[in-house]
Chain A
Amino acid sequence: MSTLAVSAPAGRRFGIGAIVLIIVGLFVLLTLAAVGFGSTWIPLETVANVILGGGEKTEKLVVWQLRMPRVMAAAIAGAAIAFSGYLLQRITRNELASPGVLGVVDGAALGVVLFLAIFSNESNALTVSVAWQPLAAAIGALTAISLVFILSGRQSSSAIRLLLFGIAIAAVAKALTTVFMLVGPVYQAAQAARWLAGAVNAISWSEIQIMAICLVPTVLVAAWLAKDLPPADLDDVSSRSIGLNLPVYRIAVFFVAAVLTSIAVAFVGGVGFLGLIAPHLARLLVGRSRFAGILTSCLLGAMMLIGADLLVRVVFTPLEVPAGTVTAIVGAPYFLFLLMRKDKTNG
């Protein structure tokens, strides 16, 4: 009896460890493949060799300057959005929560569209560098989440009210985005549409650097907050009675999740549904374990965006189809499946 009780969780932990290892392996393989694939195929061992510091000059150029940035951007952004989704699903105790419903993605879109409208001249050319576009997206995203908190006021201590305010703000931002795209010049509409769908093809190392620099402190704060996720699994009264001020904690987690997503979408655009699917799959695979759950979510999110980008390169070349369309095409049915299943189980 006692041996059983001791060995059961250990066995579970071993199982989770194996699953995480397999996912790490798949992640490495997919990354190498994504870098290897292009107008000319570079074998995986050559890619690995270049990454580890070897290789010829041309190989280095292709791997580091041409292919690596988009794969890297996809990995970082996908992981950040998935982490954000994990935090939201856990804190709301709702597997259908995702960064999209906080108004962050639509707020960022509005920021981009406004940026393009304000800084275009009569001949449809931008008067400032397009490098400022991520900043505009981040400002839009943070404005949206701030509005959600300001407008919800005292109701922000309730998870469901906060989500409803997020959905309302998202709807307003989306409507305004459409208006600006319709009344704006053609160049602007096309550029905005690219951003909305989400694409990693045009990203540069310097942008990746900025993204990483913004993400490091945010991830550290998120990881520090994550230590209190288990007591936050309980209802408000129970969690407060064991010493966690859940309403305040919940607001902090919402905010950090919003910032994580803001940073990612500012650079890669409105990649949909990653933040919903990755943490959900992670939970199916590794269960409630916090560390494994976060790690698996991030890896799956990274793989999904890398995979989506790889897919558009394989299927649509030479057309540049935004990777976000793939995540949306795959993600939307999955979302519907979740909704229908939930309906069934809840009777």
Chain B
Amino acid sequence: MADLVPSRIEVRDLTLTYGHDTVLDALNLPIPRGKVTVLAGPNGCGKSTLLRAIRRLHTGQKGQIFLDNVDIASLGAKDLARQIGLLAQNPSAPPDMTVEELVRLGRYPHQAMLQPWSEKDGVAVNRAMDGTGVTGLKTRRIGSLSGGQLQRAWIAMVLAQETDVICLDEPVNHLDMAHQLDCLDLVSKLNQEDGRTIVLVLHDLNLAARYADQLVFVHEGRVRALGQPEELMKPELLAEVFEVDAAIMTDPVHGRPICIPRGRARAAVQELA
């Protein structure tokens, strides 16, 4: 399946160490063009680190990342920011910044010394705000927004960047169920309507299985498995990667696999005892 669609991003032998801890260990990963790839794994497995590494945000990372066969190490900071957008896990901005100001910052990589602010930038900002439904909030200050509004404002900032690849690090973490769906439906719309390549880190395995075209299990700094959700949502694999004993069923609404954990996996329980 992955061979039919040429990879947008190809991660090769990516290694990252913090002191004596190896966070990513010679990791290889293809990210297919125009698909939604979801990185999942237990806490501390390196999935968020991997996402930031794809955007070349770690100093001292070894290995190569190819974007359309070009090593991103050869791209300038703004060049790269025009191609890959990333929403951080806990982004922060001054509370008295307005929503519009924030979204306009997404145009920063498109601006240069002699070409400050163009009509094109304005169009991109308005489109990003329309797409995320924050146009009505544009004069509001960041500090006065609710969690869901804030998240949409940040997504609008990333959209204004107009990158073909969008990475989102746990975008639904602090949101209630309705806003989680809003957010992921928006992401999935960007993928389906604009054909953008999306890379998500998600904690919730059932949401991951529902939205992913390609699901990736990251475990101990390596890719343990990748494929369609149906291929990965297997009891043995979940026991190994997530240390849970789970039953897998098919979601009657979307036809996607869902897991229902019974408890900690037996191997893990024995280990603890």
Contacts and interface: CB of A to CB of B under 8 A. Distances in A.
Contact of B94 (A233, A237, A243, A244): A233
Contact of B77 (A8, A233, A244, A288): A244
Given A234-B92, A234-B93, A240 B108 contact: no
B81 A242 contact: yes
B249 interface: no
Contacts of A287: 96
Interface stretch (B20-28, B83-91, B186-194, B228-236): B83-91
Interface residues of A, number: 19
A87 to B, nearest CB: 15
Interface string A231-254: 101110110111111000000000
B221 interface: no
Contacts of B90: 235
A287 B98 CA distance: 11
A236 to B, nearest CB: 9
B151 to A, nearest CB: 13
B161 A242 contact: yes
A233 B97 contact: yes
Interface in B81-117: 81-82, 84-94, 96-97, 101, 105-106, 108-109
B108 A244 contact: yes
B139 A5 contact: yes
A238 B77 contact: no
Contacts of B85: 241
A93 interface: yes
Interface string A1-32: 00001001100000000000000000000000
Interface string A219-240: 0000000000011011101101
Nearest to A235: B92
| B interface residue count range (under 10 / 10 to 19 / 20 to 34 / 35 or more) | 20 to 34
A231 B87 CA distance: 14
Given A9-B139, A234-B93, A241 B105 contact: no
Contacts of A235: 88, 90-93
Nearest to B167: A241
A245 B77 CA distance: 8
B77 A243 contact: yes
A6 B82 CA distance: 28
Interface string A286-310: 0110000000000000000000000
A174 B255 CA distance: 71
A241 B57 contact: yes
Interface string A249-270: 0000000000000000000000
B55 interface: yes
B78 A243 contact: yes
Given A230-B105, A243-B80, A245-B77, A237 B88 contact: yes
Nearest to A230: B105
Contacts of B138: 5
A242 B109 contact: yes
A288 B97 CA distance: 8
A5 B130 CA distance: 14
Given A8-B139, A9-B139, A235-B88, A241 B81 contact: yes
A121 B18 CA distance: 56
12 contacts: A5-B138, A8-B139, A231-B105, A235-B91, A237-B52, A237-B89, A238-B157, A240-B77, A241-B55, A242-B157, A243-B108, A288-B101
Given A230-B101, A233-B105, A238-B157, 15 more contacts: A5-B138, A5-B139, A8-B139, A235-B90, A235-B92, A237-B86, A240-B77, A241-B86, A242-B81, A242-B106, A242-B108, A243-B82, A243-B109, A244-B108, A245-B77
The 6 A-B residue pairs with the shortest CB-CB distance in the complex, in nearest-first order: A243-B81, A243-B109, A237-B88, A241-B86, A243-B78, A235-B92
